[in-house]
Structure 1
Amino acid sequence: MEHKYLEWGTLYRISLGIARGLEYLHRGCNTRILHFDIKPHNILLDKEFTPKISDFGLAKVCTREESIISTLEARGTVGYIAPEVFCRSFGGVSHKSDVYSYGMMVLEMVGGRKNISPGVDHTSEIFFPRWVYKRVVLDGELGLKRITNEDEKTQARKMIIVSLWCIQTDPSNRPTMSKVIEMLEGSIDSLEVPPKPYLSSPPRPSSTEFSSGFTSLQVQSSTSLE
């Protein structure tokens, strides 16, 4: 079956739509809702490719004033869980944990791939955020497919820089979702490149339950991003 790929403008609008949805959960409700399982499988698209956040099975409700919350166990899916969720030495669990998951997901949207090194056999892995960070810092060709003009290149670069800010190990260095929206909608020239990610790539999950629904971003009959 021939795969159909979403255009960069559509990917950009999807990433912005998800950011707006998360911003509403974090700030738009009377109580703050932390999703704790932002990943491709939990993003649904309608026929206009408008994203909807789904599956609130791991969500936690807290007051808008609470900056740090307590959890008895790690919540989320391997590959998208913020460091502080599974190891408290990285910081407190908060709405910034959703920001991390969002960043990892958007990086997958941009790359159309998981943490697999390009040009090597399937047993070799690198941490994809480091690879893409190097490309941004060098300001060379991003090595991304289907970019046909400067507008698309700008959209891809915005998504990458914002995502790299979102996956900073220290939660205090991550932007809020309101700031994410501001950065995505603002000028590329106003975006600073964040510090280099230094966490190692997690082990590849053995179950297909953890595989990325954003790989190649295939558009099939389903309205989800799987």
Structure 2
Amino acid sequence: MSTGTSIAGITLFALVIFLIYKSRESEKEKETQLKVEKFLENYRTVNPTRYTYKELKKITSRFKHRLGQGGYRSVFRGKLFNGIPVAVKMLEHLKGNEQEFINEVATIGRIHHFHIVRLLGFCSEGNRRALIYDSSHRQLSWEKLRKIAFGVARGVEYLHQGCNQRILHFDIKPHNILLDHNFQPKISDFGLAKLCSKDISFVSLTAARGTSGYIAPELFSRNFGEISYKSDVYSYGMMLLEMVGCRKNNDPAVEIQSQIYFPEWIYNRMRQGQKLCFDFQEDGDEGIARKLAIVALWCIQWNPTERPSMPIVLQMLEADLQCLEIPPMPFVSADVEA
């Protein structure tokens, strides 16, 4: 057999394998689309407005303004045809994202609360998936930050206590807190959420869920404790510290070595009674910052049993600053001077 014939045979074989692979991928894609469409049909009574991808491009001005990106999703600023400002979350076409899309719509369909984001619309066209939330973007004072922190805490409390089933969010972070035109916070992004009975104290997961920097230690190792609603409390605390510091909690770009890990820096300053040295404009601003920081440091205790529940967090946020105790050091210290 000649060399040319051998090469032709190998090429033909490779082509056949490629066609079989593409055929199977096409079948999987059809199955995924049917799964999503069947779900949407079953949930048609609670579904928000469905938009085409062409309409989505108009809403986002062809995806001109990106608000954030994480995991396999990107969030863009947009405006509905009636002028309502929105945030549009695009899910990349990767295995498993159809389940995140289904989880999101199904979970929000069960929830009706002032501090939980309202899903205004969605897009499911071919392999494109998008979710559309109400949103607005403005400058915030310390008093508004305090109200936002309280509103988010009320929202998380509702997820844990106010529904027929307990909802563990597993991805509380700044990017998932949207603000309406009155600065009222709305918790969004339920793609990683898990529903469980209120009678169950702990839950089991096959893998860690959430975003790096906000994931509770027990999600990585059971040596820190069991996974429960206290995992959301930890994420809330890390988010609260970022609100106070107006920066990432772990930022290698910070010039001063002792300020790289913000939770440790702010803990050391507060333990030593030093000023926080932030941009305070009004009387009482530093008191608000200190209160938020104390609550946050309680929430990020490594041992889940030492973290407060969300009802206790709400009580702490409403209490006088003088009534709040600085918690034990919530992490392993690097022994760096503040």
Same fold (TM over 0.5): yes
Q: CA RMSD in A?
A: 2.1
Q: Distance in 2 between matches of 1:124 and 1:144?
A: 16
Counterparts of 1:18-167 in structure 2 under 5 Å? 18-114=152-248, 115-116=250-251, 120=255, 126-149=260-283, 151-167=284-300
SS class of match (1:135): helix
Q: Distance in 1 between matches of 2:293 and 2:313?
A: 12
Identity of aligned residues (%): 56
Residue segments in structure 1 that go unaligned for 5+ positions in a row: 202-226
Letter in structure 1 aligned against 2:312:
K
Q: Compute the TM-score of the two structures, normalised by the length of structure 1.
A: 0.82
Q: Compute the TM-score of the two structures, normalised by the length of structure 2.
A: 0.55
Alignment CA distance shift 1:119-1:81 (3 Å): closer
The residue that corresponds to 1:183 in the other structure is 316
Structure of higher CA gyration radius: 2
Q: Kindly provide the CA deviation profile for residues 35-77 of structure 1, in whole angstroms up to 9, marking residues without a partner as x.
A: 0000111111001110010110000000111111001110000
Alignment CA distance shift 1:34-1:142 (3 Å): same
Alignment CA distance shift 1:108-1:120 (3 Å): same
Q: Kindly provide the CA deviation profile for residues 90-149 of structure 1, in whole angstroms up to 9, marking residues without a partner as x.
A: 11000000000000001000000112379617x997321110001111222112113432
Contact 1:117/1:128 (8 A) holds in 2: no
The residue that corresponds to 1:173 in the other structure is 306
Letter in structure 1 aligned against 2:302:
T
Residue segments in structure 2 that go unaligned for 5+ positions in a row: 1-137
Q: Following TM superposition, by how much is the alpha carbon of 1:81 offset from its aligned partner in structure 2, in angstroms?
A: 0.2
More strand by share: 2
Letter in structure 1 aligned against 2:322:
D
Letter in structure 2 aligned against 1:55:
D
Alignment CA distance shift 1:148-1:116 (3 Å): farther
Contact 1:166/1:174 (8 A) holds in 2: yes
Contact 2:264/2:333 (8 A) holds in 1: no
The residue that corresponds to 2:148 in the other structure is 14
Alignment CA distance shift 1:116-1:172 (3 Å): same
- Equivalent pairs counted in the alignment come to 197
Q: Distance in 1 between matches of 2:166 and 2:317?
A: 23
Q: Distance in 2 between matches of 1:83 and 1:152?
A: 31
**Greater relative CO, 1 or 2 (CA 8 Å, sep 6+):** 1
Q: Distance in 2 between matches of 1:72 and 1:200?
A: 30
Q: Distance in 2 between matches of 1:74 and 1:199?
A: 21
